[in-house]
Amino acid sequence: MTRAALFDVDGTLVDSNHLHVVAWWEALRQGGHQVSTHAVHRAIGLPGEQLLDHLLGRDRDRSHDDRLSGAHDTLYGTFFERLQAFDRAADLLRALADDGWRIVLVTSAKDRELTALRRALDADDVVTATATADDVERGKPAPDPIEHALSLVDVDPDRAVFVGDSVWDMKAARHAGVVRAGLLCGGIPRADLTEAGAAAVYDDPGDLLDHLATSPFAGARVPEAVRTDGRTDGGTR
């Protein structure tokens, strides 16, 4: 039976989260909003409108949202040519593809951003499909992006594994009924990813690649028990 390996991109496969933090922080500053970089970092992974809801509140004046998002896009765009994939990220995707997994990218990135991310990742030869926030009415943490990704490859939730770096990733995949693996390379603490539903947590794509044989990818489902020493099953720390 077909299996699907679903991957977030920003902060999971490509080292871009902190660039987004800087771009959103500066866009908000230009718009007259004082928001800490820590708060911005915790919101990364949400689609733009939901990110602004999270940081500025739903009852805000929304008339400036397009200007804020546009400022972010312009600032972040200055980094496109310098984006770098995490070490061995493409190797991880190719190893899974060689083992019969269909690779689907599930991202909140817009088309222009996604093009730059895919160029940095350099693994288009094994990517079967891409699901973006523009494809669905609700972005992460709603299950819609995950469910849409599964529909693209005609795979049931119990035959899929989702890998992401944010709490929003874990919640979306949990709501969709897909087993989750978290990565620490996006900057979110292990405990937060586990609490949000990660069955296993790894340092980065290379760490996950080194532990594929004991990871959620060893089967469509793995127990989500936490080890007695405080580490999630399959983790290295």
Using CA of residue 81, residue 82, residue 88, residue 89, what is the dihedral sign? negative
* Residue pointed to by tokens 């499909």: 129
Q: pTM score, two decimals?
A: 0.90
Q: For the segment 155-209, what is each residue's pLDDT rounded down to a tens digit?
A: 999 999 999 999 999 999 999 999 999 999 999 999 999 999 999 999 999 999 9
What's the whole-number average pLDDT of the chain? Answer: 92
Give me the domains of the chain, ranges plus CATH numbers.
Answer: 3-15+84-218 (3.40.50.1000), 17-78 (1.10.150)
Backbone angles phi, psi at 91, to 5 degrees: -60, -40
Q: Which run of H or of E encompasses 129?
A: strand 127-132
- The CA–CA distances, whole Å, from 62 to 50, 71, 141, 142, 168 equal 12, 15, 21, 22, 23
